[in-house]
Structure 1
């Protein structure tokens, strides 16, 4: 019997306390990964004669040179990703493949198909808005700075998005699933936590708490994708494309990613409304799920999203001695 994605956790050590300890270890790696950024910010603030603790978020974002700021910010996610993999291997005795998919090996074709598909679509939507409302943008292209940005983004953005996917749709999804023995609770919990962790983003200050609908809705979208497809490949590809193409194509003074992108959005951020927040969650994401369901022949939606998780017979998974 082929085990579903959440049931992959039964192939390793899956006691509830291990997930609590694992989360604490991952948090330690997150904090450790932020040390280089913190040190660089302290040094730069001292050089400018500023008190780091008196700076508001906008000033903090502009304290370091943009490419350096992005690299150090993304570095913390890369360190955290290492922590997730170490916890998975040594605390749970599981492989990266088991954390990634229910398939016998990771399906990279799924990753690349949605990566390029969403990259092209999302870039097209930005360009469409640019040509429809050119007064809201300025041409921000600087070849030398953009080339450096490209190297940083291509190398580190996928690590940032993979960190979030492996932690929320991977580690927590499997952990909560085997502990609670159902699917809907890990889907809801991981989506809400994923959304709430974005509450400190500068976008929330500019657009208001309504944008949390987008963040939590994105978490639900990626979670549904993971449960229906029985693996992280599609979620990894979508998330990587979403952040990478955005970092390279467009930035704004009020976004979390401050980059030397090709375009800069200079419009009033309060103009973001239905099209920017609700359209993706209630129109585009359902449409994407519908298309993927046809491409990958997803069935049994009710069972896969709301069904119970049964511990499989011992002969269907490897028994690990502690």
Structure 2
């Protein structure tokens, strides 16, 4: 089973603490190129770097595509650091952090990717047709092609880093230490959502948007535990971020890209913020449960995590 696999490898608590520190430092190092680029651009333009206290001003100093690439670079470096931590600190094959199956099921990855991509495109087109005044068609071939290349290369690395960190590394680590499944689901989902507090969407819409972020964490965690692997979460997260980056942007979102559409409507924290968590996510889980024949929900979400007897014998 997915969490129990960690028992086969080095899983002392201090290894996870050291691993998290290494991963955190790596992501901070990865953010240095973005900071250097922003400061150099502002300095060359004659601006006062020290006088800028609005993060949004800093994030719009560079070209949108360059900003996106440099922003995603820190996640790519973090993913590489996580790989090294798992391989050398825990002596664990990376495949066992991905799935409990013999090998990664790419069919699951592409199914979840397609599910959220088709849904997002359909809902966006319907909203565009119903409220055309809320959108500006801003497609420009060259910037869009550059955006598409960056997105295809870098966004899967960003989303994979987050999935491997939360639904993989921490899910297994907390699970083998707590000896249950509900605590890693709870902790990883809340932390995953909490890390989005710095997003400009929170400032624009208010803390109610955290229901969406934390709810998304629970959604991804539930599908990981029920499916005994991260493939569905990897595909869903990548599809969600990728199609959002290339299809529609807004001045108040974390991804400000030269996408096809720009949303110019005044956002409000209404039911549309809760709809994905209360309506779409349950439907998605029902579809996946039917397709992959999920059973034993209580055990898989709230059951105990026990070290296999064969491994206990090895420790005696």
- Per the TM superposition, whether the score is higher than 0.5 is yes
1:132, 1:35 → 2: CA distance? 43
| Secondary structure of 1:221 counterpart | helix
Q: How far apart are residue 120 of structure 1 and its match? A: 1.1
Confirm whether residue 285 of structure 1 aligns to residue 284 of structure 2.
no
- The residue number in structure 1 matching 2:183 is 185
Q: Specify the alignment match of 1:54 in structure 2.
A: 51
Alignment-derived partner of residue 161 in structure 2: 163
Matched, 1:31 2:28: yes
Per-residue CA deviation, residues 196-232 of structure 1 (Å, 9 max, x unaligned), is: 1000000001000000000000000000000000000
The answer as to 2:245 corresponding to 1:247 is yes
Greater alpha carbon shift after TM alignment, 54-63 vs 296-305:
54-63
Question: Equivalent residue of 1:199, what SS?
Answer: helix
| Local SS of the residue matching 2:238 | helix
Residue ranges of structure 1 left out of the alignment (5+ in a row): none
Indicate yes or no: 2:2 matched with 1:5.
yes
Displacement of 1:49? 2.1
Q: 1:44 aligns to what?
A: 41
Counterparts of 1:288 and 1:172 in 2: how far apart (Å)? 24
Partner of 1:76: 74
SS of residue paired to 2:221? helix
Give the SS at the match of 1:138.
strand
So what's the TM-score if we normalise by structure 1? 0.95
> Which of structure 1's runs of 4+ aligned residues deviate more than 6 A?
none
Instruction: Provide Cα deviations, 1:10-62, integer angstroms capped at 9, x if missing partner.
Output: 12100011000000000011111101111111111111222334320221221
How many angstroms apart in 2 are the aligned matches of 1:185 and 1:313?
23
Query: Aligned partners of 2:311 and 2:19: how far apart in 1?
Result: 27
Whole-angstrom CA distance in 1 between matches of 2:311 and 2:215: 38
Unaligned runs of 5+ in 2: none
Contact 2:249 2:262 in 1 (8 A): yes
Q: Secondary structure at the match of 2:197?
A: coil
Pairs aligned (count) = 314
Which of 262, 265, 268 lines up with 1:264 in the alignment? 262
Aligned to 2:291: 295
Q: Distance in 2 between matches of 1:101 and 1:316?
A: 22
Do residues 153 (structure 1) and 190 (structure 2) align?
Answer: no
**How far did 1:315 drift?**
5.3
1:76-133 Cα shifts (integer Å, max 9, x gaps): 1000000110000000011111000000101011001111121111111111111110
Report the TM-score when normalising by structure 2: 0.97
Task: Please give the root-mean-square deviation of Cα atoms over the aligned residues, in Å.
Answer: 1.4
Deviation track 1:135-163 (CA, whole Å, cap 9, x = no partner) reads 00000100000000000000000000000
- The secondary structure found in structure 2 opposite 1:227 is helix
Distance 2:48 2:202 in 1: 25
